[in-house]
Amino acid sequence: MLAKPLPRILTALCAALVLVSAAPQRPRRVVSINMCTDQLVVLLADRSQIAGLGPNAGKAELSAVADKIAGLPVLGGSAEEILAAQPDLVIGSPATGDPRLRVLRGSGYRTVDVPSAESYAQILASIRQVAAALGHPERGDAMIAIMNRQLAALPRAPHGKVAAYYQRRGYMTGTGTLVDDLMTRVGLVNLATKLGKPALSQVSLEEMVAAHPDYLIMESATAKVADQGTEMLHHPALNGMKRLSVPQAWTVCGGPFYVQAAQDLARQMTRQRVSAR
């Protein structure tokens, strides 16, 4: 005699139980080993989940969450320290392959390798990836919704204004980078695009003067320091160019602080337009 088929409700319940048992448990001891993933973990995880952060987490010039990590453990970065923290999830970046992640993964530890984000779309993907790994996907969705609203409200620069992100020793940031994406977001044209420069190139003082962009964008600390590495940036030949500045900690990693960088650049441009009237 043939067995009777299970009632539909029982079948559905069995399927749900299989899915629940297959889903990874929310991690309880999370270690981040990179300052780019530090900011995502600090902003998205429960503090009780965080068992360790990378060695640069507390350095304000590099870490956008340095003021938020009081009481959280900061690790030196060695594999031994990571193992001593007894993690059930280790998060790192970039996805090109941190050797520590490979070793940990090979030893059976759960790891997440987050790709470097060079655009806003990639930032959102990183947020979703880390939020899901932490067991808080809804927090990632909420963060993204806020970021989208904030960016939608940005004032844009007058059409066609050109800017150069000029760094120590005359290096200029080019296309295909996070800074390039940020400049486009606030309505600026990257000088590197006009000159056909790669992602990173050295531009002489003479070449910069000849190009004469509407704005020079500098890392905030560099804009205030005059030394051998910054002498080109402070040369009198560039005095006629308007200056904008942005903290390195907001742009060194593709993450949620992209929005603060965009807002601050937009505010600076607005102030300069108003003061010029």
| Rounded Cα distance, 277 and 272, in Å | 9
Quickly tell me which residue has 């050295």 as its tokens: 202
**CATH level 2 (architecture), domain 162-276:** 3-Layer(aba) Sandwich (3.40)
Q: Which of 168, 246, 243, 161 is nearest to 202 (CA)?
A: 168
Calculate the CA dihedral of residues 20, 23, 27, 31 and round it to 10 degrees: 180
Full-model pTM: 0.86
Do 30-151 and 162-276 fold alike per CATH?
A: yes
- What pLDDT, in 10s, does the model give residues 34-77? 999 999 999 999 999 999 999 999 999 999 999 999 999 999 87
Looking at residue 195, its pLDDT comes to 93
pLDDT in tens, 170-201: 899 999 999 999 999 999 999 999 999 999 99
Q: Locate the domains of the chain by residue range.
A: 30-151, 162-276
Second CATH level (architecture) for the domain 30-151: 3-Layer(aba) Sandwich (3.40)
The pLDDT value given to residue 1: 44
Q: Average pLDDT, stretch 135-150?
A: 98
pLDDT band at 19 (very low <50, low <70, confident <90, very high): very low
Query: CB-hemisphere CA count at 13 Å for 149?
Result: 6
Q: What is the pLDDT of residue 7?
A: 56
Q: Tell me the backbone φ, ψ of residue 23, rounded to 5 degrees.
A: -75, 140
Q: What is the pLDDT of residues 215-274, one digit of tens each?
A: 999 998 776 666 667 788 888 999 889 999 999 999 999 999 999 999 999 999 999 887
DSSP for 58-105? T-TTT-TTGGG-TTS-B----HHHHHHT--SEEEES-TT--HHHHHHH
Token pair listed for 123: 């930032």
